[in-house]
Structure 1
Amino acid sequence: MTIHSYEGDLPDGLDLGPVVAVDTETLGLSLVRDALCVVQLSSGDGNAHIVRLNRPAYDCPNLKALLADPKVEKLFHFARFDVAMCKHYLGIEVGPIFCTKIASKLVRTYTDRHGLKDLVKELVGVELNKQQQSSDWGAAQLSDAQLAYAASDVLYLHAAKTRLVEMLKREGRHEIAQACFEFLPVRADLDLMGWSESDIFSHA
């Protein structure tokens, strides 16, 4: 595994292929309070590319172009949060999207454990170290431990997706999963507009 770390933006000419695993690191879990600090990516080749963003300018044209490229599928775990963060801070509409958390909930109905750690352990056979999950991602320099943690969040998503697609097709739920993925930008908009906790589809 090689971790490539960048300041501000991805380098010119970097080609990560047609499916790119993506994750974000933020100062917290509030879309309106906590800043987007880091975006990490992987093409599924065992290497990770980590961008420490230039706040508050967020001047990262190469990263923005990749995340918004309609010809490149973006692979997330819990895309709802990451897509909203990217829209709020980078001003882009991320897509197309595949979310391993949604796929997991649609087919791994035999468990209530849909976090990345449990998903990767079962489907890929890798035990993730989550010790750096709560750390200062706004620091001027990321530690080696932070870089390794950020990389681990994207390195195994391609393998997990392969297994999940097999399960979705087996259970006849691939089309409904795709419809959910396509709805995610709208779900992110609702979160940003203040409807994160309210289910507007419910009767009450």
Structure 2
Amino acid sequence: MANHLYQHDLPDGLDLGPVVAIDTETMGLEPRRDRLCLIQLSSGDGNAHLVQVSREVRPAPNLTRMLADPAVEKLFHFGRFDIAMLARTYGILASPVWCTKIASKLVRTFTDRHGLKYLLNEIGVDISKHQQTSDWGAAQLTEAQLDYAASDVLYLHRLKAELEGRLMREGRMALARSCFDFLPVRAQLDLMGWGDEADIFRH
């Protein structure tokens, strides 16, 4: 396994296949306020590709082409946030998408623990969250930060396969797909100010 770090964009000619695991690191958890700092991607082959995003965002034609490609499924954990951050930064609503957190909530109704660490533990993978709240806006990221960031995408393909099996077993795959299809719209609503406190689906 290796981490490959790039500045501003993915390199020319990099093909990450039909399903790409994606995660982001940011300066905070408010997509309308906080900036995107790092994007992690993996094809599920054990390698992570990390794109460091400067404060003065530069064009990223290779990345945005992949985000918009209808033939590439974008795989997230809590995609609602990552899709919003990517849309705010690059003006692209990623689609089609798949979200392991939504899948977990649909089939792991025996628990309220749907964080990535808990889910990966169920398939025998233990990841550290020690770097989660570190300074992702630093010009030079540490090896510990890069390893942490990579761990958030390296196992998503395995997790997706496990959760897909459970969704099919419980007859909820079609429902999950409808939720995934709605995620880009949900992210767009967040960016426009209709977040949890102003949820248009509430009474």
Q: Do the aligned residues in 1 keep the contact of 2:57 with 2:89 (CA within 8 Å)?
A: no
* Matched pairs, number: 202
Mapped to 1, the partners of 2:150 and 2:188 lie a distance apart of 27
Mapped to 2, the partners of 1:20 and 1:157 lie a distance apart of 9
What's the Cα RMSD here? 0.8
Q: Please show how residues 68-147 of structure 1 align to structure 2 within 5 Å.
A: 68-122=68-122, 124-147=123-146
The Cα shift of 1:117 comes to 0.4
| Match in the other structure for 1:165 | 164
Is 1:9 the equivalent of 2:5?
no
Give the letter aligned to residue 177 of structure 2. Answer: Q
The Cα shift of 1:63 comes to 0.8
Mapped to 1, the partners of 2:124 and 2:190 lie a distance apart of 33
| Structure 2: tracts of 5 or more residues without a match | none
Mapped to 2, the partners of 1:58 and 1:40 lie a distance apart of 17
| Match in the other structure for 1:45 | 45
Give the letter aligned to residue 49 of structure 1. Answer: H
Kindly report structure 1 stretches of 4+ aligned residues shifted beyond 6 Å: none
CA deviation map 1:136-181 (0-9, x unaligned): 1111111100000000000000000000000000000000000000
CA deviation map 1:83-130 (0-9, x unaligned): 0011111111101100000000000011110000001111x2111100
What TM-score, normalized by structure 2, do the two folds share? 0.97
Task: Tell me the secondary structure at the aligned position of residue 23 of structure 1.
Answer: strand
| Match in the other structure for 1:156 | 155
What TM-score, normalized by structure 1, do the two folds share? 0.97
Identical aligned residues as a percent: 65
Mapped to 1, the partners of 2:202 and 2:135 lie a distance apart of 37
- Bigger CA drift: 186-195 or 57-66? 57-66
Mapped to 1, the partners of 2:35 and 2:87 lie a distance apart of 12
Task: Tell me the secondary structure at the aligned position of residue 70 of structure 2.
Answer: coil
Mapped to 2, the partners of 1:103 and 1:24 lie a distance apart of 19
Give the letter aligned to residue 11 of structure 2. Answer: P
Give the letter aligned to residue 62 of structure 2. Answer: N
